[in-house]
Amino acid sequence: MSEHQKKTIFSGVQPSGKLTLGNYLGAIRNFPLLQEEYQCIYCVVDLHAITVRQEPAALRRQTLEVLAQYIACGLDPEKSILFIQSHVPAHAELAWILNCYTMFGEASRMTQFKDKAAKHSDNVNVGLFDYPVLMAADILLYQADLVPVGVDQLQHIELTRNIAQRFNGVYSDTFTMPEPYIPKAGAKIMSLTDPTRKMSKSDQNPGGFVLLMDKPDDILRKFKRAVTDSDNRIVVRDDKPGVSNLITIYALATGQTIQQVEEQFAGKGYGELKPAVGEAVVELLRPIREKTEDLLKNKDYLEQVYTAGAQKASALARKTLDKVYRKVGFIKR
Ligand code: TYM
């Protein structure tokens, strides 16, 4: 199939900290799966990251680390476009235009904004409020058909669709209507210490999350201490969030269905489940960690990847931006 006929996938990950098992199972794991059939575009969204204070040296390091992890997780820079958001100014330019087609009321309803504003009450900046509009610009710039994300990003994709529909309604068809691609299992991996909350890199308690770069001993310890419940049955059930989370993680790490895992552990206790999940995650993450470490030693290669990626992305983004500028009535330069 030629590049022109292929459908487009776009997604992004923030370099605002180390990536977690939640980021991997909910999103990144799915990125390489469709590499052959789709035109895939994956971005490290550094513009998004600065909506929360970042230490500059750490941001630079983490941006390269996310890029290296994309490749370590199976993305091939020859097949997919991998780039850094701030290298393609069209993202910020389209975001400005889309700001003028986004209602204050609809942006105010975004739950991630409300959560982050509560968490960073000393820094509720306008960028944090505008974050979902920049995300809409990311997606619409590339006329993406599909956006692989975890469940926490669904509301932002709904907003993107609303903005696209409004713009298309005023100026005739301009943007492709994107669909979310949410995995059946793993779309919301929960914290190991409080399984009613999602696993997040910004959790105060490092026992709650597993990082892709965690050492095997740390991973095993975190799973041994994972919160479960007092009934010792190993089944997925709404009133057993901790155990359900462990079963989901184990199923994904070993390539089994939930039912197969429930059968494997029937009659067994948490004392057997927890170390088994830990071991499976160690083996799942080992090659990713090792490959990432190798890639980070080769900065020249990473630079080649992100430079070539930004060139390809810019060319695609320019086409959409030119069309948008013309439609809204700007004079051609
Ligand atoms: P970010 O960087 O917070 O997370 C990256 C991806 O990981 C998913 N995720 C999870 N999935 C399952 N369980 C969890 N506990 C978990 N935690 C995170 C997220 O849903 C996400 O898919 N706004 C986005 C980044 C972004 C973007 C975009 C995504 C910017 N522009 C355009 C798609 C398209 C974000 O904050 O992701």
User: Is 198's C-beta closer than 6 angstroms to any atom of ligand 1?
Assistant: yes
The CA 44 to ligand 1 mean position distance, Å, reads 11
List strand residue ranges (DSSP E) for 79-152, in order: 81-84, 146-148
What pLDDT score was predicted for residue 165? 98
Residue 17 in tokens: 């900290």
CA distances from 39 to 46, 167, 172 (A): 22, 24, 25
14 φψ region: left (φ > 0), alpha (ψ -120 to 50), beta (else): beta
116, 222, 240, 274: the catalytic one is 116
Query: Does the annotation count 323 as an active-site position?
Result: no
6, 188, 201, 224: the catalytic one is 201
In three-state secondary structure terms, 192 is: coil
Query: Does the annotation count 198 as an active-site position?
Result: yes
Q: What is the DSSP letter of 199?
A: -
Q: Going by CA atoms, what residue is nearest to atom 36 of ligand 1?
A: 14
- What is d(CA 281, CA 275) in angstroms, rounded to the nearest whole number? 10
Residue 145 in tokens: 């058909």
User: Is 159's C-beta closer than 6 angstroms to any atom of ligand 1?
Assistant: no
Q: Compute φ and ψ for 84, nearest 5 degrees.
A: -105, 130
What pLDDT score was predicted for residue 4? 61
Residue 214, classified by CB atoms within 10 Å of its CB into exposed (0-12), middle (13-18) or buried (19+), is buried
Q: Going by CA atoms, what residue is nearest to atom 27 of ligand 1?
A: 12
User: Is 48's C-beta closer than 6 angstroms to any atom of ligand 1?
Assistant: yes
User: Is 192's C-beta closer than 6 angstroms to any atom of ligand 1?
Assistant: no
Bridge partners of 181, per DSSP, are 148
Q: Going by CA atoms, what residue is nearest to atom 26 of ligand 1?
A: 12
The fraction of the chain above a pLDDT of 90, given in percent, is: 93
Q: What is the pLDDT of residues 257-310, one digit of tens each?
A: 999 999 999 999 999 999 999 999 999 999 999 999 999 999 999 999 999 999
What pLDDT score was predicted for residue 115? 93
What pLDDT score was predicted for residue 2? 56
Mean pLDDT of 144-158: 97
Bridge partners of 44, per DSSP, are 13, 84
Q: What is the pLDDT of residues 52-102, one digit of tens each?
A: 999 999 999 999 999 999 999 999 999 999 999 999 999 999 999 999 999
Using the predicted structure, report yes or no on whether residue 216 has a pLDDT greater than 90. yes
Query: Does the annotation count 114 as an active-site position?
Result: no
Which pairing describes strands 39-44 and 81-84: parallel, antiparallel, or unpaired?
parallel
- What is d(CA 226, CA 68) in angstroms, rounded to the nearest whole number? 29
The CA 332 to ligand 1 mean position distance, Å, reads 36
User: Is 14's C-beta closer than 6 angstroms to any atom of ligand 1?
Assistant: yes
What pLDDT score was predicted for residue 324? 98
Q: With residue 315 as reference, give the H or E element that holds it.
A: helix 299-328
Q: What is the pLDDT of residues 163-196, one digit of tens each?
A: 999 999 999 999 999 999 999 999 999 999 999 9
What pLDDT score was predicted for residue 34? 83
